[in-house]
Amino acid sequence: MTERTLIKNLAAREDGAVTVSGWVETIRDQKKVQFVILRDESGSLQLVRPRPEPDAETGKSDDIAESISALTLGSFISVSGELKHDERVKLGGIEVKIGTLDVVGKALPENPIAEDSSIDKRLDWRFLDLRRPEQALVFRIQTTFEHALRTYWVEHDFIELHTPKLMASASESKAELFEIEYFEGKAYLSQSPQFFKQMAQPAGFGKIFEIGPAFRADPSFTSRHATEFTSVDAEISWIDSHEDVMKLHEELLVAGFAAVKAKHGAEIEALFGIELTVPSTPFPRIPLAEAKQIVADRGYVVPRADADMDPEGERQISAYAKETYGHEFVFLTDYASSIRPFYHMRHEGDEGLTNSYDLIFNGTEISTGAQREHRVDVLIENAKDKGLDPEELDFYIDFFRYGVPSHGGFGMGLSRVLMLMLHLPSIRETTYLFRGPNRLLP
């Protein structure tokens, strides 16, 4: 079997024999010559073959010409032939003259989706939608981004964990839980690895990370919500405040963005029309109360004074950060304890505020982080203050009864980061197979 060459590697090869494989993107079946545009996972290539004179008796050309004429768009083919560099060829300055052609997988003649199909229609036929170059690029970017995060973590002596996704009880709240049958009882799909990544701190692991699935029974139909998503999590010991977590978080994102820009910057600009910016550090930091006042001064009042920043508030504070700091990221800090979980550490001297933050990127929240409360007596009182029964949290509170260092961490939605990085309208575009309230297929 002749070794297959990726299209992106052909330009560096000398003229001569080559084998390429991919799917048919365009066919120009002319009287004297036949052209096929072939696409593989790395790019597009023009295939060419002069059409032989037809047989005097049958009126048909040879078998290869007939095979080309019968090709359907989207069919997977393998071609061996002669590579030729020719600057007159608009598509990359190279072409392959077809010697042999093998139809590996023939496509039906009618494609069920088109360029102007709705997102729901495209998701119905996701495996075809993913053939688009910009969609393939999304997942190459995702791969590069995750690799850069892992490289940062490994180089800084973090331990990677894979926490269970079957839970005996809620990880954060009893709301938004998927309940499933589990032998003779019930179990729940994990909303977050929160408790388990905290468990690694009294275990003495020090610094841990995980990239894995999380599940929320959230009936939202917005562009940024999903019932199953990939969560990027980290937790570190021996911190002084949430400032240490924010520093880790911004350094990690800089590493990810720098890797993506270095490897895919030109493609991103070509396919998405965006010049990717690697963020500078430190990211701007604005206390939530101050951020709400800034937004109010811009003409928008967040409806509830005792609530989190709403989507319009996030857009407004993000616009302010760009205007004032020239930055696409902004940390909102010092959230009220009334709107934060019981395990977020409260300010020393001000029980009404927490050592926590949300990270806003291009107008949308992508992450929540905090210093955790590690003092068991305070943790129990905070749980009671939230109306929780400490006995129901016994398995979690046990983590703190046998010694635990100060610690904190964050969770971040991967698809949201990619969506906002590429200025796309929905996480449906940056999720391989999206899951929402009305979508379980494909």
Q: Is 216 annotated as a binding residue?
A: yes
Distance CA 92, CA 253 (A): 34
What percent of the chain is modeled with pLDDT above 90? Answer: 92
What's the pLDDT score for residue 281? Answer: 98
Distance CA 68, CA 54 (A): 14
DSSP class of residue 338 equals G
pLDDT tier, 59 (very low <50, low <70, confident <90, very high otherwise)? confident
DSSP class of residue 178 equals P
Q: Is 280 annotated as a binding residue?
A: no
Q: How far apart are the first and last CA of the chain?
A: 34
Could you tell me if 215 and 282 lie in one domain?
Answer: yes
Q: What are phi and psi of 415, to 5 degrees?
A: -65, -35
CB atoms within 10 A of CB 285: 16
**Would residue 245 count as lying in a domain?**
yes
Could you tell me if 326 and 383 lie in one domain?
Answer: yes
Give Cα 152 distance to the centre of its chain.
18
What's the pLDDT score for residue 115? Answer: 86
Average pLDDT, the chain: 95
What's the pLDDT score for residue 349? Answer: 87
Distance CA 87, CA 369 (A): 54
Could you tell me if 98 and 150 lie in one domain?
Answer: no
Q: Residue 171: pLDDT above 80?
A: no
- Strand partners for 360: 330, 365
Q: Is 212 annotated as a binding residue?
A: no
**Would residue 239 count as lying in a domain?**
yes
Q: Residue 176: pLDDT above 80?
A: yes
Could you tell me if 25 and 61 lie in one domain?
Answer: yes
Q: Cβ-count burial of 142 within 10 angstroms (0-12 exposed, 13-18 middle, 19+ buried)?
A: buried
Could you tell me if 96 and 140 lie in one domain?
Answer: no
Could you tell me if 296 and 222 lie in one domain?
Answer: yes
Q: Residue 61: pLDDT above 90?
A: no
Distance CA 67, CA 34 (A): 11
Q: In 94-132, which residue ranges form alpha helices assigned H by DSSP?
A: 119-124, 126-129
Higher pLDDT residue, 305 or 319?
A: 319
Strand 329-333 and strand 33-40: the pairing is unpaired
Q: Which residue has the tokens 């392959």?
A: 96
CB atoms within 10 A of CB 403: 11
- Strand partners for 22: 77
Distance CA 282, CA 272 (A): 27
Q: Which residue has the tokens 């206390």?
A: 287
Could you tell me if 93 and 225 lie in one domain?
Answer: no
Distance CA 57, CA 128 (A): 41
Domain end point (choices 105, 135, 165):
105
CA–CA distance from 3 to each of 12, 46, 94 (Å)?
Answer: 16, 19, 19
Number of H helices, E strands in the chain: 11, 18
Could you tell me if 194 and 138 lie in one domain?
Answer: yes
DSSP 270-330: HHH-----PPPSSPPEEEHHHHHHHHHHTT---S-TTSPPPHHHHHHHHHHHHHHH--SEE
Q: Is 372 annotated as a binding residue?
A: yes
What's the pLDDT score for residue 167? Answer: 92
What's the pLDDT score for residue 299? Answer: 97
**Would residue 438 count as lying in a domain?**
no
- pLDDT, one tens digit per residue, over 387-405 is 999 998 999 999 999 999 9
- pLDDT, one tens digit per residue, over 248-300 is 999 999 999 999 999 999 999 999 999 999 999 999 999 999 999 999 999 99
Tell me the average pLDDT across 2-6.
Answer: 89
Q: Is 368 annotated as a binding residue?
A: yes
Distance CA 49, CA 83 (A): 12
Give Cα 345 distance to the centre of its chain.
29
Q: Residue 56: pLDDT above 80?
A: no
Distance CA 34, CA 41 (A): 23
**Would residue 358 count as lying in a domain?**
yes
**Would residue 242 count as lying in a domain?**
yes
Could you tell me if 95 and 178 lie in one domain?
Answer: no
What's the pLDDT score for residue 437? Answer: 95
Q: Residue 425: pLDDT above 70?
A: yes
- pLDDT, one tens digit per residue, over 122-168 is 999 999 999 999 999 999 999 999 999 999 999 999 999 999 999 98
**Would residue 142 count as lying in a domain?**
yes
What's the pLDDT score for residue 251? Answer: 98
Tell me the average pLDDT across 91-95.
Answer: 95
Q: What are phi and psi of 441, to 5 degrees?
A: -130, 155
Could you tell me if 207 and 281 lie in one domain?
Answer: yes
Distance CA 77, CA 105 (A): 7
CATH number of the domain at 81, please.
Answer: 2.40.50.140
What's the pLDDT score for residue 297? Answer: 97
What's the pLDDT score for residue 421? Answer: 98
CA–CA distance from 109 to each of 24, 46, 73 (Å)?
Answer: 12, 21, 7
When computed from its CA atoms, the radius of gyration of the chain, rounded to whole angstroms, is 27
Distance CA 127, CA 111 (A): 12
Could you tell me if 61 and 207 lie in one domain?
Answer: no
Give Cα 85 distance to the centre of its chain.
38
CATH number of the domain at 417, please.
Answer: 3.30.930.10
Tell me the average pLDDT across 59-64.
Answer: 84
What's the pLDDT score for residue 209? Answer: 98
Q: Is 28 annotated as a binding residue?
A: no
Q: Domain range holding 167?
A: 127-429
Please say whether the beta carbons of 41 and 56 come within 8 A.
no
Q: Is 220 annotated as a binding residue?
A: no
DSSP class of residue 191 equals S
Number of domains in the chain: 2
Q: Is 241 annotated as a binding residue?
A: no
CA–CA distance from 302 to each of 185, 284, 310, 315, 316 (Å)?
Answer: 43, 21, 7, 12, 10
Q: Is 172 annotated as a binding residue?
A: yes
**Would residue 119 count as lying in a domain?**
no
What's the pLDDT score for residue 267? Answer: 97
Tell me the average pLDDT across 169-184.
Answer: 82
Could you tell me if 58 and 142 lie in one domain?
Answer: no
